[in-house]
Amino acid sequence: MQLDELVNPLLIGASLLYVVSGTLFALKRIRVAIIAIGAGWAANLAVFGVNALIAQDIPMGNMYQVQGVLALCFPPLLLMFTRRDRLGWTALYFAYGSALPLIGAFFMDKQATWRRMPALQSAWFVPHVLSYMIAYALCSVAFIMLIRLWIGRTRQTEYRRAIYPILRTAFPFMTFGMLCGALWAEAAWGRYWSWDTKEVWSLITWSLYAIYFHTRRSPWHKWADLPHLLAFLALLTTFFLVNLLPKLGSLLHSYA
């Protein structure tokens, strides 16, 4: 069996295990859910390993590979929030959040690879991408919880109190990712900022999350959900539309 023939079964297995885990967490079958999410993460890690062997490089070279990295971020972050903030009850959102990128990755082009030109062979590449993936994972969980808060009638205060530390943790990673990108750009092109489409949308996303934090502590705190919603829509534009739609394409940042 060729290595690339392992990818789809592993993607399907990891996705199913994450979905099963989220369902078990919702049903309060905690021990079995932990086993399922652990097995899903192991399968997800195997996808990462197979992609690395196929690419002979760090597998962050196209949207398919990056989706796999994004999915890997959720379970360790869940463990951190369970221990640090006692937010273990949010586990189902982290589990379902893990499944979504892998489901998307299953339908993506697994062959196209973005080859870094010599000027872009930089130590900033991995921290830039990884810090953004951590931030995007946390922002995704917070947004899923926001939707649940809008739909549900109960535990609204508890949900709002959980969303805040999740986004508060995401924001420094997003900031660090932007700074890494600027340092990388300066090393590669001699300028920190180029007003490229991806850079502009990244700045818009960062600014909207900053507005959310300020609004939350202002007299207009009841309106904090609006910048949160707009920020996540901007994040989706930055991550998906700019990368995948030719008309919005980023000359410097587009993935294959």
Q: Which of 113, 142, 164 is the last residue of a domain?
A: 113
Residue 120 included in any domain = no
Q: Answer yes or no: do 39 and 15 share one domain.
A: yes
Q: Which amino acid does the sequence have at 85?
A: D
Residue 121 included in any domain = no
Q: What is the token pair recorded at 19?
A: 């979905």
Give me the domain span that covers residue 221. 126-256
Q: Which of 63, 81, 113 is the last residue of a domain?
A: 113
Residue 203 included in any domain = yes
Residue 69 included in any domain = yes
Residue 118 included in any domain = no
Q: Which amino acid does the sequence have at 8?
A: N
Q: Answer yes or no: do 29 and 61 share one domain.
A: yes
* 36, 73, 96, 214 from 102: Cα distances, Å: 16, 12, 10, 34
The dihedral formed by the CA atoms of 69, 74, 76 and 77, expressed in degrees to the nearest 10? 120
Residue 35 included in any domain = yes
Residue 219 included in any domain = yes
Q: Answer yes or no: do 146 and 244 share one domain.
A: yes
Q: Answer yes or no: do 47 and 103 share one domain.
A: yes
Cα separation, 105 vs 103, whole angstroms: 5
Q: Any idea which residue has 């951190």 for tokens?
A: 80
The dihedral formed by the CA atoms of 22, 28, 31 and 32, expressed in degrees to the nearest 10? -50
Q: 67-105: b or e for each residue (b if 16 or more CB lie within 10 Å)? A: bbbbbbbbbebbeebeeeeebeebbbbbbbbbbbbbbbb
pTM value > 0.85: yes
pLDDT of residue 160: 93
**Per-residue pLDDT for the chain (256 aa), expressed as one digit of tens each?**
677 788 999 999 999 999 999 999 999 999 999 999 999 999 999 999 999 998 888 898 888 999 999 999 999 999 999 999 999 999 999 999 999 999 999 988 777 665 666 656 778 889 999 999 999 999 999 999 999 999 987 788 899 999 999 999 999 999 999 999 999 888 877 888 888 888 999 999 999 999 999 999 888 888 999 999 999 999 999 998 887 765 544 555 554 4
Q: Answer yes or no: do 136 and 250 share one domain.
A: yes
Please tell me the total count of domains within the chain: 2
Q: Which of 80, 113, 146 is the last residue of a domain?
A: 113
Residue 130 included in any domain = yes
Closest CA to 71 of 107, 101, 113: 101
